[in-house]
Amino acid sequence: MLLNHDLRKQELRVVRSSVVLISVVSVLSVLTVLSSACGSASSVSSDRPTLAPYVPTPQDVVDRMLADANVTSSDVVYDLGSGDGRIVISAAKKYGAHGVGIDIDPDRISESRRNARNAGVGDLVEFQRGDILQADVSRATVVTLYLVSSANLKLRPILTRQLRPGSRVVSHAFGMGDWKPEKIDRFKDAQGDDRVIYVWRADGTIRP
């Protein structure tokens, strides 16, 4: 009887050890899956290009950009990295132009759509979430930018390939390498800060 009792105790220990081992393996499996999922999410996030920090263009500079581009009601204005949407909204509200804003941040897109509705120009403008390096801007007659020089250079071959001759590109603060602008507008904004706006006109030449 004692021998049988000892055997039962050993069997119980084995069963308990097996249960603990299975539990540990299950937990590790779950953690591995979660880690893999998080890694994939981080990879997707890091693959998204961050071409410039979000810094809103002051409204008086927006107005100057649109004036320098000679925007009219017949224009289609694309703003690449559109932030809160103020440039295309201003183009629609002041000139009656159609506009498209593209930004990679979904919060900025939601904000832009609200701003457009509040400004009463929701029928003239649209906002798309996307990578501006993959954007189709072939409909644009005016493209506005407030990025950085390196981002402008990445966009230059895209813009010069897609835009029809006569379309204008307007950049606040940053140039496009050796592509000479048609116009450079230097001025002080409402706060007394120095500003510069560059304007180019597409001529059918693709500039890499």
Residues 6+ apart with CB under 8 A from 72: 95, 96, 97
Mean pLDDT of 157-171: 98
Backbone angles phi, psi at 96, to 5 degrees: 75, 15
Q: What's the pLDDT band for 52 if we cut at 50, 70, 90?
A: confident
Q: What is the pLDDT of residues 122-149, one digit of tens each?
A: 999 999 999 999 999 999 999 999 999 9
> Which is more confident, 15 or 79?
79
> Which is more confident, 3 or 202?
202
**CATH for the 59-201 domain, from 3.30.930.10, 3.40.50.1820, 3.40.50.150, 3.30.960.10:** 3.40.50.150
Hey, what are 129's tokens? Answer: 């979430």
What's the CA gap between 89 and 99, in Å, rounded? Answer: 7
Q: What's the pLDDT band for 117 if we cut at 50, 70, 90?
A: very high
pLDDT > 90? residue 204: yes
pLDDT of residue 49: 52
pLDDT of residue 189: 97
pLDDT of residue 50: 65
What's the CA gap between 119 and 70, in Å, rounded? Answer: 22
Q: What is the pLDDT of residues 12-51, one digit of tens each?
A: 454 354 433 334 334 334 334 334 433 433 333 334 456 8
pLDDT > 60? residue 77: yes
Q: What's the pLDDT band for 7 if we cut at 50, 70, 90?
A: very low
State the greatest distance between any 2 C-alpha atoms of the chain, in Å, as a whole number. Answer: 103
Angle CA 84–143–97, to nearest 5: 75
Give CA separation, 24 vs 12, 27, 37, 130, 160, in Å: 18, 5, 20, 43, 59
Q: State which H helix or E strand residue 187 sits in.
A: strand 183-188
Domain spans of the chain?
1-47, 59-201
pLDDT of residue 51: 82
Give counts: helices (H), strands (E), the chain: 5, 7
- Find the range with the poorest average confidence among 3-7, 55-59, 119-123, 186-190: 3-7
In the chain, helix, strand, coil percent, each to 5?
45, 20, 35
| Overall pTM > 0.75 | yes
Burial of 126 (0-12, 13-18, 19+ CB in 10 A): middle
Give CA separation, 31 vs 26, 27, 28, 40, 206, in Å: 9, 6, 5, 14, 51
Look at the chain and count its residues: 208
> Which is more confident, 78 or 39?
78
First to last CA, the chain: 91
- Find the range with the poorest average confidence among 22-31, 60-69, 188-197: 22-31
